[in-house]
Structure formats: structure tokens, C-alpha cells
Structure 1
Amino acid sequence: MHDQDQDSNPWRTLSRDPIYENPWIQVTHHTVLKPNGDPGIYGLVHFRNHAVGVVPVDPAGFTWLVGQYRYPLQRYSWEIPEGGVPAGEDPAAGALRELREETGLTAARLIPIIGRVALSNSVSDEEGTLYVAWDLTQGDAEPDDTEELRLRRVRLRDALSMVLAGEITDSLSMLALLRLPLLMEAADTPEALRMALRAGLGP
């Protein structure tokens, strides 16, 4: 594919019919012409919120994982603090809010580590942004009424081991944790954060 063709849309949309919606998602049935010109259909799940995830890091190189039962998968999941940010809200502010609600932690420093992650681009338009936070103060968690949460404070190296062992399967969590070794070596990483990452990821 030539560079000038990358933004051209080979699909033609003939109709869009809303099928179902709730406060979090909207499902739409599309009648289309496929890239080869044949008629087809496409089901699209639109997410009303922008996904955010944040890795809190303390000076000793520890982070906090949130455990909860995920209804769609029907299994328990260990994850970084994460959630959804409504349209119009700053994702960074939403990430700090989710961190505080799920763990009780307030972060004085926050930087993005990955932006515009496409989470399931074959059937949905959901995107997310990932952050790392430090300079933390502990308070009381305030989970939503849909959340029954457990917290684990673990060394960053152990959290990475959980990813590699398949104990953490949440995509936002995997992406954020696997990014940390690169962040540790990046020239523009703040020194206090770099030292915390070295403490947590080193031998």
C-alpha cells in the first residue's frame, strides 16, 4: 500500500441502524459494500467512554494491582487501576480519579506512556490512554457500586512476571507494565521516576 492510500476508506456504508444502547455502549448494525465491492454487514460497538489506565509507582519500586471479577469473561482478573472517562473530560484527570477511587492513592505527578491504544478495532471503536503516576499519598478508596475490589502492592518486577506468566491478561495492564522498562531508559523520563523504576525493575 502506498503512503497516500493509507487514509482512504475502501468500505462504503449504505445504512446505519441502532440496535441497542446503554450508558456505556451503543451497538449499530451497518449495511455496507465491502472493499471488493460485494454487499455485506458490519456490527459496530461504540464506547461512550475513553479507557484510561495508570501504573502507580512508589520510591521503592512497588505498584498496586486491582483484583476484581470480570463479568463478561466470567473469571477473576488482576489489573492496573483503570476505568472510563466520559467525553469532554481530560483523560489525565480521569486517570487520577480512577486511581484515587480504586486504590485511595493520590498522585502529584502523572505522565502519559501510551496514547490512543485501539483495544478491539475489528468490532469496536474503543481507545485508551495509559499513564504512570508517582509522588503518591495514601488515602481511602471509593470504589463504584459495581466494583468489589482487592488490592495488592507488588514490586514492579513481580508485576511484569505476572504478565509473562499469563496471570495478568488485561490488555491495558499488559501494555502499560511492558512499557516501563523502555520508560526507565528514555532520556526525558523525570529522574525521580527513573530511580523508582530502577528500584522496582532491577535485580
Structure 2
Amino acid sequence: MGWIVRSEQDLYRDKWVHLTSADVELPDGRHLDHRVIRTAAPGAGAVVVDQGRVLLIWRHRFITDTHAWEIPQGSIRPGEDPADGAAREAEEETGWRPEKPLRPLVYAQPSPGIMSSEHHIYRADGATYIGPPKDAFESDKIEWVPLNEIRGLIDKQHVVAGTTLVALLYLLTEGDCNTE
């Protein structure tokens, strides 16, 4: 039983985001005035694993005024293959070039109740350091974090971003990750 969008009205639009007000008819016939956020491009991220460690960035998110560990991720450019976008973002944000081929790890829609954002997350086994990150403003520090510390970081709320949580928890279920 689906919700039916009867109409949408533009509230705001720029090159990154499109905000609308949707008149949604619920299955019981009632109507709901719902906000919808449509993102301009899907995102891609990379979980880079090497020797029982994962490459993470410690960053500040001004909206929530919090610091936490995240995987490198960002928008896929028009015409760009999602795996190539994930590799590019990892390199730009960390200075580490993921080993190819990147393999699909997990696909996520972080908040489908309000936004259209799609995240394609890939896994790389190893990386080569090529120099300081191009986008040094993205993080306060870049570290290889032991996989056996991930659960503790989540418990201490040092990993809170939805896509990073999904990616790391999924990674830990793969069975081939040595967390010793």
C-alpha cells in the first residue's frame, strides 16, 4: 500500500539540492503536507581495508557541531562511474589511492523518508600513499583504524554518520576481515 503524491511545489532549488512541499495522500485517504529533499547527484564512498585496518577521516560536521570518524565519500560527477568516484573521493580526502579494482560493498539510501540521496559504497583492499590530501579541509586527521576498534568507536559515538555506520558494520559481517 503506497503513498500517492498528488502534487509538489518548489520551495528552493540550487545546483546541489531541490526542496519541495508534497501533497501526499495516505492509504487511508488523509493528506499530508510533506517536505522532500532531492539531491543533485548520488554519492560514492570507499572503505579501504589493509592489514586489519580501515582508512578513516576525523571530521567536524557543522550542522550537528560534532566530530566523528567517517569513510571518505562525496558526490559522483556527471558521467563518472560510481567506483571511480569512490576512488577519487578517497584519494582527494586522504592522500591514499585505493587499490583497484574496487568491489561493491553496500548501497544505502540514508534517509529515504525525506530525501532522495543514494550512496554507492565500495571496498578496496589496500592503498598507496601519494601525498597530502587535495581536500585537506575535509578532515582534522586521517588514520588507519584497527577493525577490532570499530565497535568501541561506535559505542562511544565516535562513528555516527549513517552511511559510515552501514558501511563499517557491513564490512565487519563479511567474515574475511581479520580483526585480531
Shared fold (TM-score, shorter chain, > 0.5): yes
Pick from 147, 154, 157 the counterpart of residue 156 of structure 1.
147
**Cα displacement string for residues 120-155 of structure 1 (whole angstroms, at most 9, x for unaligned residues):** 11111112122211231101211076x344212221
Contact 1:83 1:95 in 2 (8 A): yes
Structure 2: segments with no counterpart, 5+ residues: none
Equivalence for 1:19:
11
Query: 1:96·1:107 contact (CA, 8 Å) conserved in 2?
Result: yes
Query: Counterpart amino acid of 1:40?
Result: L
Give the corresponding residue for 1:108. 99
Which of residues 43, 54, 57 is equivalent to 2:49?
57
Q: Equivalent residue for 1:69?
A: 60
Q: Which amino acid aligns with 1:16?
A: E
Deviations 1:152-189 (A, max 9, x none): 222111133212332211111111111223223xxxxx
Residue from 30, 36, 57 that aligns with 1:38: 30
Task: Tell me the number of residue pairs that the alignment of Structure 1 and Structure 2 aligns.
Answer: 178
**Would the aligned equivalents of 2:68 and 2:157 in 1 still touch at CA under 8 Å?**
no
Shift of the 97–26 alpha-carbon distance from structure 1 to 2, 3 Å rule, reads same
For 1:91, which of 82, 92, 97 is the aligned residue? 82
Change (3 A) 1:144 1:86: farther
Secondary structure of the corresponding residue to residue 126 of structure 2: strand
For residues 22 and 144 of structure 1, the distance between their equivalents in structure 2, rounded to whole angstroms, comes to 25
Could you tell me which amino acid in structure 1 is paired with residue 149 of structure 2?
D
TM-score, with normalisation over the residues of structure 1? 0.79
Unpaired stretches in structure 1, ≥5 consecutive residues: 1-7, 185-193
SS of match in other structure, 2:99: strand
TM-score (norm 2): 0.88
2:134 to 129, 132, 142: 142
Contact 2:57 2:139 in 1 (8 A): no
Paired residue for 1:188?
A: none
